[in-house]
Structure 1
Amino acid sequence: MLIGLLAGLVSVTIKNITFGIEWLLEKVIVWSQNSIYFILPVIGIWLVYLFMKYVAKKPVEHAIPSILFSLSKKNGLIKPSKIYLPLITAPLTVGFGGSVGLLGPAIASASAISSNIGQLFHIDRKTRTLLIGCAAAGAIASIFKSPIAAIIFAIEVFSLDLTFASLLPLLIASVSSVLTSYFFLGDGVLFNFNVSDKFLLKDTLFYIVLGIGTGIASIYFSKIYFSTYAFFNRFKTNGQKLIVGGLAIGVMLYFIPPLYGEGFGFINDLLDGNHLHALGHTPFDKYLGNIWVIIALLIGITIFKAVAMTTTFAAGGSGGIIIPTMVMGSALGNVVAKIINNVGLNFHVSEANFTLIGMAGLISGVLHAPLTAIFLIAEITGGYELFVPLMITVSMSFIITRNAVEHTIYTKELAEKGALLTHDKDHSVLTLMTLDSVIEKDFIALHPDMSLGDMLHKGVAKSNRNLFPVIDENKHLVGILLLDDIRNIMFDQSLYHSTSVETFMQMPPGFIDYNHDSMKQVMQKFQDLGVWNLPVIKNGIYMGFVSKSKLLTAYRRELINFTT
């Protein structure tokens, strides 16, 4: 309940700070010189850059991926600074018109609060993880006033187990957060929409088409995200990224004004059927009497929203991807409906319904969260009249995207590092394990030029192991010596001074790279090589051994902790 209350307060705070900045710019600066609005996002990103460099003195982190990394590799421990940093950087970015959302930063701040409260009360890792899930659910419930979708988001994205022990705290946190939002913001909702056009069986094929379209668009969204980041990573300094990104954002906003800011107004205008107001003033105003020009501009928004969002991130801005995903989905859904209605084949579908369901299709594909998408739109519309078309479109989008893009924007980098928790318990347990916890260092090291006699007196006689690492003067592993290899000659004193360790040592069948091998890869190496011990190397230096017995014991212990 406490976490839900605080998550609601965080959401209210971040929204009000952002709205305050927008109001100030609108009333005092912008509308006196309307032509300069497209340079404002550059100013906002520049302010974020200065703040992070000279005040926070740390780089901007992406909200959800940083939380997921904390859950998998830091036992759910999040630094206190991450409570307030998103409350500063995200409003500066979005308030000045950056094409990103506030939901991710709100989740990040609320999660940091829950983590630190968990540390304050000395709560164990598993419960702390659940509290972070409660914070995420609370932030979403507060912003969208959709408690059920918020719970499902926490389960789908944070890979929480769906049990009564987890469901009840998530429910309490969501309700507490929604009540907090009602208390401070009243009963107003982001999307004031009621379903007036019912689902008709004859529209089924069109919803399948929309599902295919949103699936393809979701793949595009993910691909453009990573390719844009790859482009900006070519620049050596943050200043260069800011200049190039700022120019790109300014050009996109000049030609496509709806890319400015979060985009809730754009979505509401489409839901109201007012596409002219949604598009705003563009260089193409005199052509807006032609419906196909409007469709072309909406396609432009669909294409360039992902580009504008990623450019804002890559240039140094702070925000989230969920709201931009919804904006892109709403534009695509509206485009599909307009094409169907104007292609000249006497078909007619509800543009408002397609706008809503387009949002669900993009959320499902981009986030790999189909149930979140379905229940979010169902709760936004205040009922389940669109449940069937939602399921059709969302499932199509998810199937197409999941087969083409294995990991989401949130999870790809973490998966490559072996730091991603999933609903696969085996994978998650291995992710939670650390290599340090299974490295054994009580092996007596030998030198290759050590005589057999010295090796027996200084090594074998003082060790309870039958395995000895052989290292050189720089602590590089040059081989291993097994007791079985010298058992038949170890009592032959004539060899004590004439032979050396180098004579009997052998190369290990493999090794574990401390910096690059995940626990899943370590387990796979034991399985593939069929050995009981493998040496661990860090930057070329010998560190110790991992034994299969120690690894399996640690795995079983972690599995018990994870599932009870």
Structure 2
Amino acid sequence: MKKNRIAILRSFWYLSHKLRRLLSRWALRFLVNRHSVTMLTAMFIGAASAVSVIIFRKTLDLMKMYLLEDGQRLLGVGETLQSRILLPLIPAIGAALLIPLSKRFPGEVNGYTFPKFLARVNVKGGAIGIKTVLLRIIAPSITIGSGGSAGVEGPAAVIGGGIGSIVGRWLGFSEKQRTLFVAAGAAGAIAAIFNAPIAGVMFALEIILLGNYEITSFGALVVSAAIATAISQSYFGNEQVFIVPEHVFTGLSETPIFLLFGAFIGVIAVFFIKIFYKISDVFDSLAINPFLKPVLGGVIVGIVAIFFPQVMGDGYGHITEVLAGRSGVLLCLALVFLKIFATTMTLGSGSAGGVFAPSLFIGAMAGRTFGAASQYVFPNFSSAPEFYAMLGIGAFLSAVTHAPLTGMFLMLEMTQGYKVIIPVMLTTVTGVFVAKTLLKDSIDTFSLSRQGIDLVTGKEINVMESLKVRDIMSKDFITIREIEPIKIVHDLIIAGSGLCFPVVNGQGGLKGVITVDDITRVFSEEYIQQIVTVGELTTEDIPVVTGYDTLRRAFECFSIADLEELPVVNNPLNKGEIIGMLKRGAVVSAYNREIMKRQSD
């Protein structure tokens, strides 16, 4: 029986392998051109991302029903303060349910994992497996379904990106094309979950691809987002997320207030980012079992929810209340900071989820608060507070993520408020400018910067890390003993044997190097060339590399030594046997060849 099963699995793998090769290397390439292949693949990824999002949302709905709604009913939680005393048990139970997943998949479940996803896409080649996709469906559903203060949008983007990565690898596409398909999957997922195709495209361009794209890339993102939105609308309907009343702003005279509001949003965004990672650091330093930290965070969120239940979950219901003008200004002011606290407690302690929904909530509360103050101070020039709440939805998200187009179009599509495009542009751009001025990193790149990861230069670093010194060093070199007269070096240079030579001591170990610059002053004095030894003019204090070092390490050594060649040794600790010479020009050429190869792929 076992042998038969193994034979069946081998046959299945063989057929799958043959089918993949047929699709990726023969059939599609003969039937259509390269761009058509990209578009067809993007269409499939968009459809698959939409289906994944539907499964994600259905899973979340089930968790909300079983954990939050049934849990409140069993505990007798109601509208009164006294009836909510046992409310902290629900998010604590949700956090406890993550423990088996955390033990089985360490490092893959807990906390705000979207920055890791960005690093994997932009620095590590975009390889994302089915395990990551499944975990992003299950873990955030448990956290949010039990009342944790988090959003589904970041996990949804990872789910869609994972779909794109899996499809790209299965069809045998290059690393560059796989990155595009990851972005296409993320665009489709964001478009499907928000019913916002343009925002999905902008999200992929600004956040996933870091603003670097070609016309073909843009087309693939648009196709994926469009297909995903169509499928999502056919299943969930085509209703806008937030229903807002008609607002009329006063015109040009209100422009300074919009700019001031944008600055206000930018300051709060920076506050949110710093508090978010400060609390994460506090939880990291706690001397308790790491699996119990999310439970502690859930209890704290539940305690806050006893008095302010609005902080639980994604908060979309209360955003609708604020946009309709049915929430007091003092409550909104309090919820700005309480939602920040609840979100940082949820994700900072190790529960799973994203920050998009909390950002929309905080932006709406901040906008309602600012709008009320503005209307009080400038009654003749300021629009209704609800209007500023609507602007705050997009402006705060943009400021937190440093992605102005994403927040702008997301707000417009979620509210269908296209008539207010000018105030949205002014507020959003100002908010992003102030946030970037006060803090270089967004909420997605802050933790990566602390680890020394720069997503902008990450791809170049990835190329340098992939190449080794042993692959490009020259094994044809001449060593010179330190006791030899300097004339030997002079003759070798004149004969065209090189401009830099390694110098060895009596035991054959590396002493340093001698270059044409070192002997320039004795070139014209032949009698000095016979008296002075090589060791007297040798440059000894130089960095060395080994054959196993990367090009990145080699670049660093060249910048320190300011030499055109470096010796390659087998033991860098005692500068032992010389096994080759590494030329600066060879390093640059190898790097350029690898870049061109990846681009052509």
Q: Work out whether the TM-score is over 0.5.
A: yes
Q: Which runs of 5+ in 2 are unaligned?
A: 1-42, 78-83, 523-532
Deviation at 1:482, TM superposition (A): 4.7
In the other structure, the counterpart of 2:28 is none
Deviation at 1:223, TM superposition (A): 0.9
Equivalent residues in 2 for 1:342-491, closer than 5 Å: 342=376, 348-417=382-451, 419-422=453-456, 427=457, 430-440=460-470, 468=502, 480-482=512-514
User: Residue type matched to 1:509 in 2?
Assistant: I
Q: d(CA) in 2 for partners of 1:538 and 1:362?
A: 55
Contact 1:444 1:469 survives alignment (8 Å) = no
User: Residue type matched to 1:11 in 2?
Assistant: V
Deviation at 1:272, TM superposition (A): 1.6
Q: d(CA) in 1 for partners of 2:262 and 2:569?
A: 49
Equivalent residues in 2 for 1:61-460, closer than 5 Å: 62-158=112-208, 159-193=210-244, 195-198=246-249, 200-236=251-287, 237-239=289-291, 241-242=293-294, 244-275=296-327, 294-342=328-376, 348-417=382-451, 419-422=453-456, 427=457, 430-440=460-470
In the other structure, the counterpart of 2:564 is 532
In the other structure, the counterpart of 1:284 is none
Q: d(CA) in 2 for partners of 1:266 and 1:406?
A: 31
Deviates more, 1:367-376 or 1:523-532: 523-532
Q: d(CA) in 2 for partners of 1:516 and 1:411?
A: 28
The aligned length equals 517
User: Residue type matched to 2:464 in 1?
Assistant: T
Deviation at 1:249, TM superposition (A): 2.0
Deviation at 1:313, TM superposition (A): 1.6
User: Residue type matched to 2:335 in 1?
Assistant: I
Contact 1:481 1:504 survives alignment (8 Å) = no
**Structure 1 residues 525, 354: closer, same or farther in 2, change over 3 A?**
farther
| Residues 126-185 of structure 1 deviation map (CA, whole Å, 9 limit, x = unaligned) | 110100110111111001111111111111112253421111111100001101111221
Contact 1:417 1:518 survives alignment (8 Å) = no
Contact 1:134 1:173 survives alignment (8 Å) = yes
Contact 1:41 1:93 survives alignment (8 Å) = yes
Contact 2:68 2:145 survives alignment (8 Å) = no
**Structure 1 residues 109, 465: closer, same or farther in 2, change over 3 A?**
farther
Contact 1:452 1:501 survives alignment (8 Å) = yes
In the other structure, the counterpart of 1:553 is 589
2:102 is aligned with 1:52 = yes
| Residues 182-240 of structure 1 deviation map (CA, whole Å, 9 limit, x = unaligned) | 12212233213354434533322221221111010111011111211221221244045
| Residues 27-85 of structure 1 deviation map (CA, whole Å, 9 limit, x = unaligned) | 432134202223322221221123221x3344436443222212233212123311211
Q: d(CA) in 1 for partners of 2:293 and 2:581?
A: 44
Q: d(CA) in 2 for partners of 1:263 and 1:325?
A: 10
**Structure 1 residues 260, 27: closer, same or farther in 2, change over 3 A?**
closer
**Structure 1 residues 208, 307: closer, same or farther in 2, change over 3 A?**
same
Deviation at 1:326, TM superposition (A): 0.9
Contact 2:160 2:187 survives alignment (8 Å) = no
Contact 1:429 1:555 survives alignment (8 Å) = no
Q: d(CA) in 1 for partners of 2:296 and 2:433?
A: 36
Contact 1:215 1:362 survives alignment (8 Å) = yes
Q: d(CA) in 2 for partners of 1:197 and 1:515?
A: 66
Deviation at 1:551, TM superposition (A): 2.6
User: Residue type matched to 2:241 in 1?
Assistant: L
Deviation at 1:100, TM superposition (A): 0.7
Q: d(CA) in 2 for partners of 1:109 and 1:120?
A: 17
Deviation at 1:537, TM superposition (A): 10
In the other structure, the counterpart of 2:31 is none
What TM-score does the superposition give when structure 1 sets the normalisation length? 0.81
> Could you tell me the percent identity over the aligned residues?
24
Contact 1:443 1:468 survives alignment (8 Å) = no
In the other structure, the counterpart of 1:16 is 58
Contact 1:438 1:546 survives alignment (8 Å) = no
Q: d(CA) in 2 for partners of 1:530 and 1:268?
A: 62
| Residues 402-427 of structure 1 deviation map (CA, whole Å, 9 limit, x = unaligned) | 111111121133345554333xxxx4
Q: d(CA) in 1 for partners of 2:126 and 2:47?
A: 20
Q: d(CA) in 2 for partners of 1:17 and 1:127?
A: 31
SS of match in other structure, 1:410: coil
Q: d(CA) in 2 for partners of 1:402 and 1:517?
A: 33
| Residues 328-359 of structure 1 deviation map (CA, whole Å, 9 limit, x = unaligned) | 11110011112233459566522222111112
Q: Which runs of 5+ in 1 are unaligned?
A: 276-293, 489-499
What TM-score does the superposition give when structure 2 sets the normalisation length? 0.76
In the other structure, the counterpart of 1:285 is none
User: Residue type matched to 1:193 in 2?
Assistant: V
Contact 1:467 1:482 survives alignment (8 Å) = yes
SS of match in other structure, 1:551: helix
In the other structure, the counterpart of 1:289 is none
SS of match in other structure, 1:126: helix
**Structure 1 residues 133, 536: closer, same or farther in 2, change over 3 A?**
farther
Instruction: Give the one of 60, 67, 80 matched to 1:25.
Output: 67
Q: d(CA) in 2 for partners of 1:154 and 1:320?
A: 16
Q: Which has the larger radius of gyration?
A: 2
Deviation at 1:468, TM superposition (A): 4.9
